[in-house]
Amino acid sequence: MNKPVLDIRDLSVSYNTPRGPLRALRNVSMKIPDKKIVGIVGESGCGKSTLISAIIRLMAPNATVGTGEILFKDKNLLDRTTTEMRNLLGVDISMVFQDPMQTHNPVLTVGKQMVDIQYRDSLPKADKRKRAAEMLSKVGIPDADARLNQYPFEFSGGMRQRIAIAMALMAKPSLLIADEPTTALDATLEVQVIKRLRELQEEVGCAILFISHHLGVIAELCDEVVVMYAGEVIEQGSVRDVFHDPAHPYTRALLDCDPGHIKEKTRNLPTIPGEIPDLVDVADGCIFQARCTHVHGACANRPNLQPVNVAHNVACHLNQTEGAV
């Protein structure tokens, strides 16, 4: 396995709320190997966004990091000063956000914005502009030189998201964080964006942390997948292992729920009964036990991530007692 570019160890983050600390992330560990695409999948409230904000250190004012470290190229990001972080972001770590309609400045041309973000390089402006045009054509925007003079509203949603990707990759970062970059796009455009992302990832040679709740997109794009539930990592492994042989009951339920998986027409779709637990008052034991169909005595203790096989881990007691179910 490649040396990880990002190594998150035992990270816990909580938010101070009037009801007490809301434990949004609890002992989360994951590795993003160099030049790989790792997908994080989980439903609303599973801690995906908190995790990203912790990595890029843009946490809400009421968030506190309890334990853990986030090692980026062997250095803990949580120890960095604001200035050090600022020099890292947009250079070695960059990000593509969810909503392509709102990530660009509406009153500046795309070219101006793409030149502005190269402020760290002491190149003549013409060269920066040329580089911007090259990057635009790489993401499949025809007639790039002329289009640099256009404003964001003159581009379609799919194009704007591709421009955001071009901007994020222009500095050739080691890590790209993509937060649901295709959720706001239509199916045919989603396919285009994913294809570009994969091509560029190979060309730039960066690692990608790809957040999505769309299982189909994860299956198609990622090498590895991390499944999160209510602030914990519950399963992690290669996309093939996790999607073909899910070891955690939640992963299985989530896959069953995806209507894309159901080939026969049905009027009664599977669901996961129950609600996500209240993270202010986290009960002991397995976090999924209240909704799990396989709950048993051992579930009163919190399961740790244990290997199912090489590079496929699950946090479920069933794994130890019966082997992979």
Partner 1 sequence: MSALLEVDDVIVRFNIRSGLLQSGISIDAVSGVDLKVEEGKTYGIVGESGSGKTTLARAIAGLHHASEGSIRYRGRELRDLPESQFRQLRREIVMMFQDPIGSLSPRLSIKSLVTEPFRIQGMKDRDLDAEAKRLLAMVGLPQEFASRYPYQISGGQARRVGVARALALGPKLLIADEPTAGLDVSIQGEMLNLLARLQDELGLAIMIITHNLNVVRHITDNVGIMYLGKLVEEGPTEQVFANPQHPYTLALLAANPEPDPDAQLMRVELQGEPPSVMQRPTGCEFHNRCPFVKPDCNSIVPTWTDIGNGRSHRCRYPETWKMNENTQ
Q: Given the DSSP bridges, would you call strands 207-212 and 175-179 parallel, antiparallel or unpaired? A: parallel
Residue 293 interacting with partner 1 (CB under 8 A): no
> How many amino acids of this chain bind partner 1 (CB under 8 A)?
43
Cβ atoms < 10 Å from Cβ of 226: 28
**Near partner 1 by CB under 8 A, which window of 25-33, 63-71, 168-176, 239-247?**
239-247
| Residue with Cβ nearer partner 1 (12 or 137) | 137
Q: Least CB distance from residue 141 to partner 1, whole Å? A: 9
- Tell which one of 121, 186, 202, 284 touches partner 1 (CB under 8 A): 186
- Tell which one of 188, 293, 322, 323 touches partner 1 (CB under 8 A): 188
| Residue with Cβ nearer partner 1 (125 or 265) | 265
Residues in region 148-177 near partner 1 by CB under 8 A = 156-159
- Tell which one of 15, 72, 229, 243 touches partner 1 (CB under 8 A): 243
At 22, list the tokens. 């809301």
Say how far apart CA 119 and CA 150 lie, in whole Å: 20
Residue 198 interacting with partner 1 (CB under 8 A): no
Q: Least CB distance from residue 155 to partner 1, whole Å? A: 9
| Residue with Cβ nearer partner 1 (131 or 213) | 213
Residue 44 interacting with partner 1 (CB under 8 A): yes
Residue 220 interacting with partner 1 (CB under 8 A): yes
Residue 178 interacting with partner 1 (CB under 8 A): no
Say how far apart CA 273 and CA 318 lie, in whole Å: 20
At 144, list the tokens. 């790039």
Burial of 165 (0-12, 13-18, 19+ CB in 10 A): buried
| Residue with Cβ nearer partner 1 (33 or 270) | 270
Residue 261 interacting with partner 1 (CB under 8 A): yes
Residue 255 interacting with partner 1 (CB under 8 A): yes
Residue 33 interacting with partner 1 (CB under 8 A): no
Residue 3 interacting with partner 1 (CB under 8 A): no
Q: Least CB distance from residue 90 to partner 1, whole Å? A: 28
Residue 310 interacting with partner 1 (CB under 8 A): no
Residue 285 interacting with partner 1 (CB under 8 A): no
Q: Least CB distance from residue 276 to partner 1, whole Å? A: 9
Residue 262 interacting with partner 1 (CB under 8 A): yes
Write out the residues near partner 1 by the rule CB under 8 A. 43-44, 156-159, 186-192, 194, 213-220, 239-240, 243-244, 253-255, 257-262, 265-272
